Amino acid sequence: MKSALTAKFRAIHGRAPEIIARAPGRIEFIGNHTDYNGGTVLGAAIDRGVWVALAPRDDQQRRFSSDQRGAIVSVAVDRLERLSGDESWANYPLGVLAALPVFGVRAPAGFDYVAMSDLPAGAGLSSSAAIEMASALAFVTAAGEQPARETLVKAARHAENHFVGVPCGILDQGVSGFGRKNHLVFIDCRGPHFETVPLPGGVHFWIVNTHTKHALVDGLYAERHRECMAAARALGVQLLVEVSPAALAAGERKLSPVQAKRARHIVEEIARVDRTRAALRAGDLAAVGALLTASHRSSQMLFENSTEELDFLVDTLVATPHVHGARLTGGGFGGAVMAMTSGDFAEHHANEVAVAYGRKFGTRPDLLHAQTGDGAALLPV
Ligand code: GLA
């Protein structure tokens, strides 16, 4: 990947890059929509990601290109406005450039930039956080800054919230920033506080990407965000993390039926994250798997961000040998399901799931046997 990126950079810009940064995509392990409610969440960085190559320029132009969009997007340093159409992918790095000064970190002036990815886009693996984190690391390096990792994560999330316009929490950027091979990242989103948690040996991840995407997915994510905030307000707290199961039971009559379902999902899901940590510590993979599947059922019934396709995959996966548990991963409303399996779950098992899906829905999902990987890092040029 790195040599392909360097070759691409040379072909486009006629010189070698001076900085190369890479950041991984992530699996949301458990903690669905808990992050922006101030809750806890567990995720894993995977061995696929986004690479960014950069070399400073003497003038005031920032020139972006990617392996997926050939044309160069050229933006003057003093023009930090949101782009649309074919150029809109550049909003991720532009958003990071706009966010860095908000956190007291200098952004570089002119540069040439090329991004390359081996992360399937739209698969719920957060290619957007990966490009933000790889860009952030490349930009601060070019500007001669060395901010704390947490600052990079916050700036990348700020870019997503305020420039791209998605009211996401800190899960995706946090896992991409703090990921570690053979570990999960635990985030207490109120700090935020980041910790790595060892993953018991013999655990495998399979991602089944449906390529379905609800037409209103961005609007629906924002709607869930609003519903959760409204439920918190009605319960007299700022964020749903402050509500215990007992307080929810006592206050539920103050909520509309929809708010009550959303709040119950969040409160119970935060408890499930804690139980998952305990089960991981005990090495009890059957218990972890059951919690993952219970998380999906809660998304399906209470948070209502699943789809017929995702439910079918979870049902089929959990009925397949060597699967500990399965759940939708990420925002929902389409996208992908992840399964935690033992090493005995083989390619042919995954194929049988894909064939069953094809028989029902007429299309074949993509299968990805993902390994855990390390978080964002600079690479030698
Ligand atoms: C998306 C968001 C995350 C998180 C998940 C749902 O991936 O970007 O911040 O809210 O959805 O848990």
CATH for 155: 3.30.230.10
Ligand 1, atom 1, residue with closest C-alpha: 331
- Nearby residues of 229 by Cβ (< 8 Å), 6 or more positions away: none
* Distance (Å) from CA 129 to ligand 1 centroid: 10
* Distance (Å) from CA 302 to ligand 1 centroid: 17
Indicate whether 117 belongs to any domain.
yes
Indicate whether 313 belongs to any domain.
yes
Find, among 76, 136, 65, the residue nearest to 106 by Cα: 136
Chain segment 60-103, per-residue pLDDT in tens: 999 999 988 778 999 999 999 999 999 999 999 999 999 999 99
Chain segment 30-61, per-residue pLDDT in tens: 999 999 999 999 999 999 999 999 999 999 99
Indicate whether 378 belongs to any domain.
no
- Ligand 1 atom at minimal distance to the Cα of residue 33: 12
Query: Do residue 193 and residue 266 come from a single domain?
Result: no
Q: What distance in Å separates the CA atoms of residue 269 and residue 261, rounded to the nearest whole number? A: 12
What share of the chain in percent tops pLDDT 70? Answer: 99
Beta pairing partners, 368: 207
Query: Do residue 259 and residue 146 come from a single domain?
Result: no
Query: Do residue 162 and residue 279 come from a single domain?
Result: no
Query: Do residues 41 and 189 touch, judged by C-beta distance below 8 A?
Result: yes
Query: Do residue 44 and residue 170 come from a single domain?
Result: yes
Length of the chain in terms of residues written: 381
* Distance (Å) from CA 269 to ligand 1 centroid: 14
Query: Do residue 224 and residue 358 come from a single domain?
Result: yes
171 lines ligand 1 (CB under 6 A): yes
Indicate whether 376 belongs to any domain.
no
Q: What distance in Å separates the CA atoms of residue 292 and residue 44, rounded to the nearest whole number? A: 14
Write a three-state SS string for 225-286.
HHHHHHHHHHCCCCCHHHCCHHHHHHHHHHCCHHHHHHHHHHHHHHHHHHHHHHHHHCCCHH
Residue 117 CA, distance from chain mean position: 15
Query: Do residue 27 and residue 132 come from a single domain?
Result: yes
Instruction: Tell me the catalytic residues.
Output: 172
Indicate whether 94 belongs to any domain.
yes
| Count of domains observed in the chain | 2
Between the two ends of the chain, the Cα-to-Cα distance in Å is 12
Q: Which two tokens stand for residue 358?
A: 């094809």
Q: Which of 143, 177, 199 is the last residue of a domain?
A: 199
Query: Do residue 167 and residue 50 come from a single domain?
Result: yes
The 8-class DSSP code of residue 200 comes to P
Query: Do residue 362 and residue 248 come from a single domain?
Result: yes
26 lines ligand 1 (CB under 6 A): no
Whole-angstrom CA distances from 174 to 52, 160, 217, 253 are 18, 13, 22, 35
Mutate to test the pocket of ligand 1, among 32, 125, 171 (most ligand atoms within 8 A of CB): 171
- Nearby residues of 67 by Cβ (< 8 Å), 6 or more positions away: 8, 114, 115, 116, 117
CATH for 242: 3.30.70.890
Q: Which two tokens stand for residue 1?
A: 């990947």
Query: Do residue 90 and residue 239 come from a single domain?
Result: no
Query: Do residue 151 and residue 110 come from a single domain?
Result: yes
Query: Do residue 315 and residue 329 come from a single domain?
Result: yes
Domain span at residue 358 reads 204-370
- Ligand 1 atom at minimal distance to the Cα of residue 171: 9
Query: Do residues 76 and 40 touch, judged by C-beta distance below 8 A?
Result: no
Q: Which of 199, 224, 245 is the last residue of a domain?
A: 199
Indicate whether 379 belongs to any domain.
no
Q: Where are the alpha helices (DSSP H) in 27-170?
A: 91-99, 127-142, 149-158
Q: Which of 199, 215, 243 is the last residue of a domain?
A: 199
Predicted local distance difference test score (pLDDT) of residue 122? 74
Q: What is the pTM of this model?
A: 0.96
127 lines ligand 1 (CB under 6 A): no
Query: Do residue 282 and residue 247 come from a single domain?
Result: yes
Chain segment 271-318, per-residue pLDDT in tens: 999 999 999 999 999 999 999 999 999 999 999 999 999 999 999 999
